[in-house]
Chains A and B, each alone.
Chain A
Amino acid sequence: SQTIHQWPATLVQPVGSPLSLECTVEGTSNPNLYWYRQAAGRGLQLLFYSVGIGQISSEVPQNLSASRPQDRQFILSSKKLLLSDSGFYLCAWSGGTSYNEQFFGPGTRLTVL
């Protein structure tokens, strides 16, 4: 069966520090991968999605970036965090035999102070 991992689970970072969040998927190949951010009362905002290694589409201009160095690895990064980057970050995948729905990871709670 397929599983999706995210780490770290929680993170507290100062303003201006770098960021690296990692997401990995097991049990499937060539998945579509997604990063969402969830801020209080604002629903889920799609940040990036990827249909293959090195292929990244950005949905919202911001100081975040994403990379996909391996088929089942998706990384969210920032060179300098802003207060507004605080939130709950969710990674998701779709593909394989369940091509319609997306499956979500457990999330990373980021607090920028």
Chain B
Amino acid sequence: AQSVTQLGSHVSVSEGALVLLRCNYSSSVPPYLFWYVQYPNQGLQLLLKYTSAATLVKGINGFEAEFKKSETSFHLTKPSAHMSDAAEYFCAVRQQAGTALIFGKGTTLSVSS
């Protein structure tokens, strides 16, 4: 069965620093992979998705993620953190269209000035 592991439940960075949020997946077939962001007391918003096209995926708000099959990873990065990036981030996997997403436990990103 597929699963997702997010390494680090809490990541703290300074404003302007690199953001790196880690996600590793387990899947027996090529997966569909997603990153979502959640602000307090709101629903989840899609940041970006990988669906077997380009391995480097660009999303909204300056985020990007690289699919690395050999490492079974899909880490989320942003070159320069903004205060507005402080939120909870979820990595998710889906093995085939129509099935529910499987989510990681989330990583809370804090950004300090």
Residues of A within 8 A of B (CB): 32, 34, 36, 41-44, 46, 49, 51, 59, 88, 90, 92, 94, 99-107, 109
Residue of B nearest to A51 (CB): B98
Shortest B81–chain A CB gap in Å is 23
Q: Can you list 28 contacts pairing A with B, beta carbon distance less than 8 Å?
A: A36-B103, A41-B9, A41-B105, A42-B105, A43-B90, A43-B103, A43-B104, A44-B44, A44-B103, A46-B100, A46-B102, A49-B100, A59-B100, A88-B41, A90-B43, A90-B44, A99-B97, A99-B98, A100-B51, A100-B97, A101-B49, A102-B100, A104-B36, A104-B44, A104-B45, A106-B42, A107-B42, A109-B41
- Given known pairs A43-B104, A104-B44, A107-B41, the reply for A94 and B34 (CB within 8 Å) is no
Query: In the complex where A51-B98, A100-B32 touch, is A107 in contact with B43 (Cβ < 8 A)?
Result: yes
A43-B104, A44-B103, A100-B32 known; A94-B98 Cβ under 8 A: yes
List residues of chain A with CB within 8 A of the CB of B82.
none
Give 14 new A-B contacts, CB below 8 A, not counting A34-B100, A44-B103, A105-B43.
A36-B103, A43-B104, A46-B100, A46-B102, A88-B41, A90-B43, A100-B32, A101-B49, A102-B100, A103-B46, A104-B36, A106-B42, A106-B43, A109-B41
Q: Which residue of B lies closest to A91 (CB)?
A: B43
- Closest A residue by C-beta to B33: A100
With both chains docked as a complex, state the minimum distance between the C-beta of B96 and any C-beta of chain A, in angstroms.
9
Chain B, 57-78, CB within 8 A of any chain A CB: none
Considering the complex, give the chain A residue whose CB is closest to the CB of B104: A43
Contact residue among A34, A43, A101, A109 (Cβ-Cβ distance under 8 Å from B46): A101
